[in-house]
Amino acid sequence: MTTDAIRKIVRRAVRHACIAFPVQQHMLRHATGYKLANDGQDTRGIQHYLGHRNIQHTTRYTELASDRFKNVRYD
């Protein structure tokens, strides 16, 4: 799939959903990163899935995951 085809699909979906703000296809990539982090996925796994070469580009998603460590016990 070309980037132009994806752009057109996103544009149609935004129109169909009556979203009132501009949406770009890259926003879906960020949403995926945050979703995976909030679901407790491993940072390295997210890095691999999103194709980031540098782990620092991935840690932004895990830093903002509000309940990332909710089940960690400190004894």
Q: What is the pLDDT of residue 50?
A: 92
The 10s digit of each residue's pLDDT in 46-66 is 999 999 999 998 888 877 666
29 in any annotated domain: yes
pLDDT surpassing 70 at residue 73: no
Confidence of residue 39 (pLDDT cuts 50, 70, 90): confident
Over residues 3-27, the mean pLDDT reads 89
The residue range of the domain holding 30 is 24-68
30 in any annotated domain: yes
**Higher confidence at residue 48 or residue 24?**
48
17 in any annotated domain: no
Q: How many domains does the chain have?
A: 1
9 in any annotated domain: no
4 in any annotated domain: no
Q: Which residues make Cβ contacts (< 8 Å) with residue 37, sequence separation at least 6?
A: 43, 46, 61, 62, 64, 65, 68
SS (H, E, C) 13-58: HHHHHCCCCCCCHHHHHHHHHHHHHHCCCCHHHHHHHHCCCCCHHH
